[in-house]
Amino acid sequence: MSDGSDPLDAFDAERLGRTLSAVGEASPLVHHLTNDVTTSETANVTLHWGGLPVMADAPAEAGDMAAGADAVVINTGTASRPDVDAMVDAGERANEAGVPVVLDPVGYGATPHRVASVGRLLDAVAFDVIKGNAGEIRGLAGEEATVRGVESVGEESGVAAAAEALAAETGAAVVASGEVDVVADPDGGAYEVAVGHERMGTFVGSGCMLASTLGTIGALAGSPDGPVETATEAALAATTAYGLAGERAAEAAPAGPASYRTAFMDAVASTAADPPDVDIGDRVTPI
């Protein structure tokens, strides 16, 4: 980080609670250019955290909406060439306006089109946060990785080093999602976030919803007297809050994946309103 501080300073349940309360008070407008499969999920999770979702992906207005938003989330899950045009315009306009931008490079490495589309975005837009699964992050860092469709295949070992390398190269905080999430700081260092539940992977859209959570909470980064100062601090808070909601949903013991998905949405709303008073200091640790 530019001021030499540690993103983990004072990172505890009390600070997380203040962060989530600040989201509700600010009601950040989070503009999504996202995939067709999970539009409803990403809109609703943004709303449940206390943000205001908007999905204006038409090329004629994507840039204008981005310039007036508090955060922009770009997800390449079903991106056609015209979609990528709109994403580039939105990202560039957000950069000009000082609006934080999150990239979710869904399925990076699965096809040449996805590789070219994400490469074009990285060339044109300065991202504050890049979030992906192990295969996507390792592929973006130039390593061998296997992605089938939009899913990572193979071991997650080495993902922390890949996340650190990608963060240093792009200047973005990098979030690698997995059994244990990794958050890498562009100024060096990475952190493991051992929060969450295995059932979070039992329904489609959980990764996209994490990107929306990163955008909603990341909208606070850099605000005067706010609870999070940088993109890395916001990413740690968002990833932790998301995992805690997953744990809370599992406590209800829903019968199957569809009922767990509903319980998870309810848990996001209840976590935003009443964060659990748990010791998270030993579950978010430097690597």
* Residues placed in the known binding site for substrate: 55, 205
**CA 133 to CA 157: how far, in whole Å?**
12
Q: How many helices (H) and strands (E) does the chain have?
A: 10, 11
Comparing CA positions, the residue from 230, 240, 249 lying closest to residue 278 is 240
CB count in 10 Å sphere of residue 15: 16
Count CB neighbours of 14 within 10 A: 12
What tokens were used for 66? 């981005």
Annotated binding site: 55, 131, 177, 205
Q: Rounded distance, CA 45 to CA 266, Å? A: 10
Neighbouring C-alpha atoms within 13 Å toward the C-beta of 247: 15
**Contact criterion met (CB below 8 Å) for 250 and 199:** yes
Residues that constitute the known binding site for ATP: 131, 177
